[in-house]
Amino acid sequence: MVDYAKKINIDFIICDHHLPAGEIPAAVAVLDPKQNDCQYPFKELSGCGIGFKLMHAFSIQNEIPLDFLYEFLDLVVVSIASDLVLMTGENRILAYFGLEKLNRNPRIGLKALMEVSGFHRESTLEISNLVFTIGPRINAVGRLTQGKKAVELLVSHNKEEAENFALNINKTNYDRQDLDIISTQEAFKMVDLYKKNKPDLKSIIIYKEDWHKGIVGIIASRCVDKYHLPTIVLTLQDGKIAGSARSIPDFNMYEMLGRCADLLTEFGGHQQASGLAMPIENLEKFTNMFELVAENTLTPAMLIPPQDIDLKLELSEITPKFYKILKQMAPFGPENMRPIFSTENLTPLKVQIMKEKHLKFTVVEEKTGLSFVVVAFGLVDFYPELLKAKKVDLCYSIEENTFQNKSSLQLRARDIRIFY
């Protein structure tokens, strides 16, 4: 495409944040800090972050006031959160000011999307809201229909138009969730069968020709969450097999795919997430080769899901002042994760199920009588055990809950140890 454009006198500037694979197009400029010869010191910008840097340089060169440029930071922070890039260096600075912009004066399109997503303005928007609420809705449109619809929302200057775009995008996200649930259940059944026949598998590679190409990455992530193994989910696309790969900590997916490159027509991505394609006839060979790579790379320690704890606390130490100090470490994200704490010997009370998959309960510290509300997303399997539990050890993060303009601290459970 770039070569053809040059022939008809069209200049290309390419912005990318992936590790380049193969020959780099002969564009006027290729902005990608992960190129071998790139001298730019920070390598972990998001795709939109690189576009922002291009606009920054263009503005300086053409004496355009930078105040205008900073109005785009709300888009940059959505990209940083959705791309799951490292929350360090420039990303953390851009995310900080992007969140400030989002909470102060978001663009019409993002404001409309926040409203249909059920986000209440009395709460402060955080990176986690973008990762789990806003980002998936924007991505759903590109996965199932056309990404152009999300662009139309984000550039809209008309309130009524933006609200209509947001409603349609929200509906598409519900459709994506339904498709996701069905396909993920199919994937789990396939993996369970494979593991029954081969219990020592060190990787998961599953293929179904009618899985929608837009959700294979989500399925792969779900499999990693459940089985804690490097996972590749494939489907049929334009006569060849294509799909997405997701990894576990310390297993570099991009590098491992590179060891199987002879069987692939293309691959690219990051250490934790990659995309790939291959001829149909290569699937069996690739499956065997990748499994061998995983066997030779994974150690027993890497196969244990990590749950790092930053500090043991007593409930009496969780105060508004302590939480204020924690907030100064934000924005949180990869390589700057929200601190995880643990407290032992707590009494669980008022255990209830929320929305079928989640739990809410209260924990009480015996020696002080202090109590906190705990929310446990995705941990509904603990429900029958918590009803019988006399004591629990809790692994959690601390967050602020705002309801009817009243704020209080609550604990978000990461793991629970139960004593009867």
Q: Average pLDDT of 119-134?
A: 86
For the cut 70, the answer to whether the pLDDT of residue 4 exceeds it is yes
pLDDT band, very low/low/confident/very high, at 54 (cuts 50, 70, 90): very high
pLDDT band, very low/low/confident/very high, at 337 (cuts 50, 70, 90): very high
Question: What percentage of the chain reaches a pLDDT higher than 70?
Answer: 100
Q: Average pLDDT of 82-98?
A: 95
Q: Is residue 192 part of a domain?
A: no
Contacts 24+ apart (CB under 8 A), 404-411: 404/122, 405/122, 408/373, 409/318, 409/320, 409/323, 409/372, 410/372, 410/373, 410/374, 410/375, 411/318, 411/363, 411/372, 411/373, 411/374, 411/375
160 and 204 assigned to the same domain: no
Tally of domains within the chain: 3
Last residue of a domain, one of 269, 303, 337: 303
* CATH code (residue 280): 3.10.310.30
pLDDT band, very low/low/confident/very high, at 216 (cuts 50, 70, 90): very high
Q: Average pLDDT of 3-15?
A: 90
For the cut 90, the answer to whether the pLDDT of residue 288 exceeds it is yes
For the cut 70, the answer to whether the pLDDT of residue 291 exceeds it is yes
For the cut 70, the answer to whether the pLDDT of residue 278 exceeds it is yes
| DSSP letter for each residue of 366-382 | TTT--EEEEEETT-GGG
339 and 356 assigned to the same domain: yes
Per-residue pLDDT, 21: 72
* CATH code (residue 369): 2.40.50.460
Q: Is residue 189 part of a domain?
A: no
For the cut 70, the answer to whether the pLDDT of residue 119 exceeds it is yes
For the cut 80, the answer to whether the pLDDT of residue 98 exceeds it is yes
338 and 408 assigned to the same domain: yes
165 and 205 assigned to the same domain: no
Alpha-carbon separation of residue 3 from 9, 22, 31, 409 (angstroms): 10, 16, 17, 57
Q: Is residue 399 part of a domain?
A: yes
Q: Is residue 225 part of a domain?
A: yes
- Scored b (16 or more CB within 10 A) or e, 363-398 reads bebeeeeeebebbbeebeebeeebeebeebebbbbb
Last residue of a domain, one of 303, 331, 365: 303
Q: How far apart are the first and last CA of the chain?
A: 66
Q: Is residue 180 part of a domain?
A: no
Instruction: Copy the structure tokens of residue 169.
Output: 């995008």
For the cut 90, the answer to whether the pLDDT of residue 419 exceeds it is yes
Instruction: Copy the structure tokens of residue 282.
Output: 């290569």
Please give the residue range of the domain that contains residue 295.
200-303
For the cut 70, the answer to whether the pLDDT of residue 122 exceeds it is no
pLDDT band, very low/low/confident/very high, at 306 (cuts 50, 70, 90): confident
Q: Is residue 185 part of a domain?
A: no
Q: Is residue 360 part of a domain?
A: yes
For the cut 90, the answer to whether the pLDDT of residue 166 exceeds it is yes
255 and 215 assigned to the same domain: yes
Q: Could you give the 3-state DSSP secondary structure of residue 387?
A: helix
Per-residue pLDDT, 2: 86
242 and 150 assigned to the same domain: no
Q: Decide which of 187 and 405 is more confident.
A: 187
Question: Among 37-41, 76-80, 123-127, 200-204, which is the least confidently predicted range?
Answer: 123-127
Peptide bond preceding 25: is omega within 30 degrees of 0, i.e. cis?
no
Write out the E strands in 264-340. 266-269, 273-278, 311-312
Per-residue pLDDT, 3: 85
Strands 273-278 and 266-269: antiparallel
Q: Is residue 179 part of a domain?
A: no
294 and 320 assigned to the same domain: no
pLDDT band, very low/low/confident/very high, at 245 (cuts 50, 70, 90): very high
- Cα–Cα distance measured from residue 78 to residue 46, given in angstroms and rounded to the nearest whole number: 10
pLDDT band, very low/low/confident/very high, at 283 (cuts 50, 70, 90): very high
274 and 339 assigned to the same domain: no
* CATH code (residue 129): 3.90.1640.30
344 and 212 assigned to the same domain: no
144 and 22 assigned to the same domain: yes
Question: What percentage of the chain reaches a pLDDT higher than 90?
Answer: 83
Per-residue pLDDT, 24: 87
How many CB atoms lie under 10 A from the CB of residue 103? 14
Per-residue pLDDT, 269: 85
Q: Average pLDDT of 364-390?
A: 95
Per-residue pLDDT, 59: 95
167 and 46 assigned to the same domain: yes
Average pLDDT, rounded, for the chain: 94
Encode pLDDT of 342-369 as tens digits. Answer: 999 999 999 999 998 899 999 999 999 9
CB 156 within 8 A of CB 162: yes
Our CA dihedral for 102, 105, 108, 112, rounded to 10 degrees, sits at: 60
- Cα–Cα distance measured from residue 198 to residue 223, given in angstroms and rounded to the nearest whole number: 17
- Cα–Cα distance measured from residue 299 to residue 89, given in angstroms and rounded to the nearest whole number: 31
Per-residue pLDDT, 127: 96
Last residue of a domain, one of 303, 326, 346: 303
228 and 362 assigned to the same domain: no
Please list the alpha-helical segments (H only) found in 105-158. 108-116, 127-129, 135-144, 148-155
Distance of CA 382 to the CA centre of its chain: 25
Per-residue pLDDT, 407: 87
